[in-house]
Amino acid sequence: MLSMSETSLTSLWVYPFAYNSREKQLKDDHFQALVKNPFSRTHIFSARGTDFSSSFTSKAGHLLVNRSRNNQNIDYNVEILKFCEVGNLQKAMELLFQREKMGLDVRSYCSVLQLCAEHKSLDDGRKVHSIINRNGIEIGGVLGSKLVFMYVSCGDLIEGKRVFDKIENEKVFLWNLLMNEYAKIGNFKDSVHMYYRMLELGIEVNSYTFSCVLKCFAASGNVVEGEKVHAYMLKLGFGSYTTVVNSLITFYFKCGRIESGQKLFDEMRVRDVISWNSMISGYLASGLAERGIKVFTEMLILGVRVDLATVVSVLAACANIRNIWLSRAIHVYAVKAGFDMKMSFSNTLLDLYSKCGDMDGAVCVFENMEEKNIVSWTSMIAGYAREGLFHEAIELYREMRKKGINPDVFTVTSILHACACSGSLENGMEVHEYIIEKSMVSNLAVSNALMDMYAKCGNMENAESVFSQMTAKDIVSWNTMIGGYSKNCLANEALNLFTTMQLHARPDDVTVTCILPACASLAALDRGREIHGCILRNGLCSDRFVLNALVDMYVKCGALVIAKLLFDKIALKDLVSWTIMIAGYGMHGFGNEAIATFKEMRQAGIEPDEVSFISILYACSHSGLLNEGWKFFNIMRNEFYIEPNLEHYACMVDLLARAGRLSMAYKFIKSMPLEPDATIWGALLCGCRIYHDVNLAEKVAEHVFELAPENTRYYVLLANIYSEAEKWEEVKKLREKIGKRGLKKNPGCSWIEIKGKVYIFVSGDSAHPQAKNIRLLLRDLRKKMKEQGHSSKQKYALINADEMEKELALCGHSEKLAMAFGILNLPAGQTIRVTKNLRVCGDCHEMAKSISKVLERDIVLRDSNRFHHFKDGYCSCRGYW
């Protein structure tokens, strides 16, 4: 824009009477170009008002040389420049094509390239490039720079870099330009590479270079290299450049070096609004919203100018700590400052409402927004997902796509979370397709969310496929996969991946809380101990989730004493800690200790929930504490107003049935306000077996078979009841029934861990290298049992007679094999710990008792129901199994 004096002077000089016709003149492109043309005296005044003579002589002089050589040409160059000046790319291109053979001035090409860059017209730019090549014009110096600039501006970074590499370049500008472009597309590696190359070539770097390279190291979290840049920057005297220090502050915050960022900020002599905003958003992103707000307050006290970005960050900080009061104040402030009409402000407000659980408020903001962007939609979707309204989240995502809005990385991760939590595999797979289409898989957060979605939907194959295709994995990726395997009952896969992980990354608190349940489910005590060591080495033992998982692992691996020692050491025991310990005592048969722990918990001021009541009720039933169980059932309902669910009822039926109150249990089921399921009838069926009540068993079995026709466990149970009553005819009938249905018995299997390795045995296993020794040992033991008056209980037979014979011939059941293997391979005196996938068989139970006495070996056997500690011929279950 011309200043007032210049305008008047200009106009007067060229057209003394032109004042009135000025508007008309401006409409005329051609004329306007003339006014600005380097040859007109006007140009000298308008563009370079100060130095009349030098500008005139240099420019005109240059062109005058051309004029003398080729009179025609001068006009073409001038004309092209004219069109460039007014921004008429089309005309300039036409002229360029027409006159390319005339040996046009390099400047003309430069001007057109500049215009192509401004218009972001890659097509035209390429055409200019080919004209240049066609006419054998040497690409270098200014022309080279312009070509690179054009390509980069038009988004063709690859071609830009190609031209750049061909030309001599010590100009820092182009280096910075390319570096920034690489950084913009997330290619930090190449950006940083250029920085190192600059240093090698001795190119003088400037503040732009430092800002860019710091951004790269911030993104990749490379503290070491970033600090080197920091030192070099100070050496070159950029320590007082506000933009560079701003970048440095952001870098330190992104690397988690908060104190360094704060220190830099404190020592800054000149701070601008960006310095302040960087601090606020730095704290916000580090999860320290309060400190961000504190920076904002300081800003207000010092009277620093606040801008939209400040308000947006502070409001987001308020949202994160759910500070409604401060949010309102800032809202009012924003309205006064006129920020409230901005989209980014509305987006933050919307997110604030949704984070505070006010989805109606969020919807209100959302619907009243004149313009919405991807952030608005994503915030809404994430809000619905956070509130557990997964269906709404998915619906809104659909609506958004219908509107033609392209989900970005944030949207995709939010919707995947909604799909994961609602188990909507189909929707999740649709999102996966979109992700592939937009090649978003390279994004870590997206891949992690995808894996989580597949894992939560139970599809570990697809999760594994995403995982294996990831080029870079972070701790979240590993944790998601390990946790996925763990939760999908693939404990061995979880453990194997954990081993692999340790070669690549350092486990964190989440990793160990994911892997410990896998050890627990396998009862892999040695692996669990290893992980305990890993926890100690990595300083993770102050995390309450880790401690709870650790206690749970020791409980489920049968090491109750260690579990209790650790439990006592937990300084802040939460409801979960207490529940784990109560359940632990329960499954090990220490009902009274469980009750004592429950009381302690209440004394500690922790209120039990429905889960802790399940634990205590099971503890009572495992120890046959009928009256205490009833008491807790009543306390739960009358004192804590917790409505019993199916699981609570199952506990009670179990309790009654084990205590021999079979008809009472039957009446109890009949009086339930909930529809009983197979587990509940199954518990009673179990009781029928213990107390040999064939008549009731048949009645109960009808219910069970109706509710769970596919579960072989119950057919086996009934068959056992028949065979124990020597009703062989009925056993046969049942066997035929099962055969007709094509059902297969869930094979019993047991395993034992020796020196960290798990050995698995299935019923009648003879393939094992030590099978012969095991057989001999068992035969020997059987003999000793008989001498002591134990009779072999042929009653513990199974449905299939052939199988039974085979098992007897080989001395049988998987738990016997595993126990024998333990005796043969573990040093004397060491407890034998065996785990079985089904309930322990009665004969094996007897044999274990005998082994514990005859061989003086302690045995801890975990079956699908509880623990059995065998010692001196007794079992901790005292018959309650």
Partner DNA sequence: CGTTTTGCTA
Interface residues with DNA (CB under 7 A)?
107, 110, 114, 142, 145-146, 149, 171, 173, 176-177, 180, 206-208, 211-212, 215, 242-244, 246-247, 250, 272-274, 277-278, 281, 284-285, 307-310, 312-313, 316, 319-320, 343-344, 347-348, 351, 374-375, 378-379, 382, 408-411, 414
By C-beta, is 302 or 828 nearer to DNA? 302
- Least distance CB 677 / DNA (angstroms): 39
- Least distance CB 385 / DNA (angstroms): 9
Q: Which are the contacts of 272, defined by CB distance < 8 A and separation ≥ 6? A: 242, 246
By C-beta, is 409 or 490 nearer to DNA? 409
Contact 521, 527 (CB under 8 A): no
Torsion sign, CA atoms 351, 353, 358, 364: negative
Contact 406, 394 (CB under 8 A): no
Provide the 8-state DSSP code for 100: G
Contact 832, 859 (CB under 8 A): yes
Distance CA 464, CA 415 (A): 20
Contact 248, 264 (CB under 8 A): yes
- Least distance CB 416 / DNA (angstroms): 13
By C-beta, is 412 or 546 nearer to DNA? 412
- Least distance CB 363 / DNA (angstroms): 15
Distance CA 214, CA 853 (A): 71
By C-beta, is 141 or 842 nearer to DNA? 141
- Least distance CB 234 / DNA (angstroms): 16
By C-beta, is 386 or 732 nearer to DNA? 386
Residue closest to 348 by CA, chosen among 313, 397, 296:
313
Partners of residue 869 on adjacent β-strands: 860
Q: Give phi and psi for 760, each to the nearest 5.
A: -110, 140
- Least distance CB 800 / DNA (angstroms): 58
- Least distance CB 477 / DNA (angstroms): 20
By C-beta, is 11 or 347 nearer to DNA? 347
By C-beta, is 144 or 676 nearer to DNA? 144
Distances in whole angstroms, Cα of residue 512 to Cα of each of 475, 538, 548, 571, 719: 12, 11, 11, 20, 43
By C-beta, is 344 or 424 nearer to DNA? 344
- Least distance CB 241 / DNA (angstroms): 8
Distance CA 627, CA 162 (A): 85
- Least distance CB 316 / DNA (angstroms): 4
Distance CA 456, CA 498 (A): 19
Token couple for 783: 């003999």
DSSP 130-197: HHHHHTT----HHHHHHHHHHHHHTT-HHHHHHHHHHS----HHHHHHHHHHHHHTT-HHHHHHHHHH
Contact 643, 637 (CB under 8 A): yes
By C-beta, is 256 or 458 nearer to DNA? 256
By C-beta, is 167 or 690 nearer to DNA? 167
- Least distance CB 147 / DNA (angstroms): 11
Torsion sign, CA atoms 545, 546, 549, 554: negative
By C-beta, is 417 or 532 nearer to DNA? 417
By C-beta, is 286 or 800 nearer to DNA? 286
**Mapped to the 3 state alphabet, what secondary structure does 497-521 carry?**
HHHHHHHHCCCCHHHHHHHHHHHHH
- Least distance CB 670 / DNA (angstroms): 51
- Least distance CB 309 / DNA (angstroms): 3
133 CB neighbour count, 10 Å cutoff: 10
Contact 607, 631 (CB under 8 A): no
